[in-house]
Each structure stands twice: as structure tokens, then as C-alpha cells.
Amino acid sequence: MGIIEKMRLDGKAIYVTGAASGIGKCAAMAFAEAGADVAIVDINIEGAEAVAKEIADATGSRTIAIQCDVTSQEQVETMVAKVVETYGKLDACYNNAGIALNVPAEEMTYEQWLKVININLNGVFLCATAAGRVMLKQGYGSIINTASMSGHIVNVPQPQCAYNASKAGVIMLTKSLAIEWAKTGVRVNCISPGYIGTDLIMNAPHLKPLIEQWNAMAPMGRLGKPEELQSVLVYLAGDTSSFTTGSDIVVDGAFTCF
């Protein structure tokens, strides 16, 4: 069997949070194209249902849509149980849901701070540990989290201290879980994307000046595309990454190299 065949995800069951749009949707499509059955998880159930149908029609994958607020432990545990009930197992998961608020620190309310931390960091903890409990019983599984280059650098010019702190936390949470579960067959990794030109970012008029500044600073002179994350995610979800755990894979067009 060649390496391309080995990288396929046939027969695997995977859930993706924040999958109704953006990076999550693109990741879910990649997993399905590689042969996996995919649960489309999002707080926006209408969007999740539309994406689940789109992916099923395009790939033949068995898809389901699940509504879930990742800051609710009860909803997260119910979501994971639904995935296992549907597919009989959980081979991999991609904990991707997140938000960003650009607010100067001296003006940021505690409620705003908590909203970002609860979704971006606490939500990853809840999803990773809920999935982990299933995978530990199975004796195998791959957990992938979305961190960010913002966990490595302070982005400018936008003020986003809560986002940066949350993503740095995701990186260390990932490494900590990887060490705790290293001998169990359960692997934990994260990816740290740079600026990615999702529809949400590209179609937001107020972000146009920021995009121009980001591109001016970027070594490659452009934003990344969601599709440019797909191969890394498929690798981490599959069996060829069996010796990869505790890794933070930075995909940022060399933005953090200076």
C-alpha cells in the first residue's frame, strides 16, 4: 500500500466543531473526501445541517449535524455521545470552534474576556476531555485542536489580548494532554494557522484596512486559504501520524519567523 492510500481515512468517524463555516467547514470536507464519516458540529444548527448535506452530496460520506454550545459541558458530552451512538466509535476529532474580539485591554469588559476564553480555551478543554474519555476506553484516537500563530506572537495592529491568551492556552493544553495520554494510544496535537482568508474575514468591510496591513507584513504577501490547512488536518487525523503527538504545527506563511 502506497503512502497516499495509507493517508486515507476510510471507515473513520470524526467530529468537527465550528463546522458550519470557515476553517471548520473546509476541514470537514477534507475529512469526508478522504473517506471519513463526519459529524458537523456548530451552535448554528441550520448552517450545520446545510453543510452536512453539502458534504454528503459531494462525497457520499455519512454525515450528521449536531447543535452544540462548546462552553456547556452537558451539551459537549451529549454531542460526543451522539457521535459514538451514530458511528459506533470516535476515531478523531477537530476542536475548532472559536471567536475573536478586537477590543483594547483597558476597555475590555470582564464579560468580553470570559466569552473569548470560554469558547476558545474552556471549550477546547471540554471537547478534548469528553472525546478523550471515549478514546481512552477504545485505546486509540486522535484529538486535533485549533490554536493560532496568535499563541506565539502578539498580533498588530488589532488589540486582541483575550484571543492571544486563549490560543497560547490551547497550545499548552494540547501539550499537557499529549503527555498525560502518550502511552494510551490517544494522540493530541494542534495547528496554529496564520491569517486565513475565510469568507467571514474576506467579506467584512471593517477588516479590509487590517487585511491590507497584514498582507504588507506577511512574507508571502497574502492571507492563507482554508484549503491550505486541509492536508495537515488529514495527516493528523489518520494513522500515518501515529508518532506525532504534542505537536503544534504552524501554518502561517512564515509570518512568525521574524
CA distances from 206 to 53, 212, 218 (A): 32, 11, 20
* Pick from 12, 200, 55, 74: nearest CA to 65: 55
Which candidate in 21, 61, 148, 166 is catalytic? 148
140 is catalytic: no
* Pick from 168, 163, 173: nearest CA to 152: 168
CA distances from 75 to 68, 78, 80 (A): 6, 5, 9
Which candidate in 21, 150, 167, 195 is catalytic? 167
148 is catalytic: yes
CA distances from 207 to 98, 203, 227 (A): 18, 8, 21
CB 75 within 8 A of CB 86: no
CA distances from 85 to 23, 78, 237 (A): 26, 10, 20
87 is catalytic: no
Position 218, amino acid: A
CA distances from 151 to 26, 70, 84, 244 (A): 22, 20, 32, 20
CB 237 within 8 A of CB 143: no
List CB contacts of 236: < 8 A, sequence separation 6 or more: 92, 142, 144, 189, 191, 244, 249
| d(C-alpha 125, C-alpha 119), whole Å | 10
| d(C-alpha 66, C-alpha 47), whole Å | 10
Residues identified as active-site = 148, 163, 167
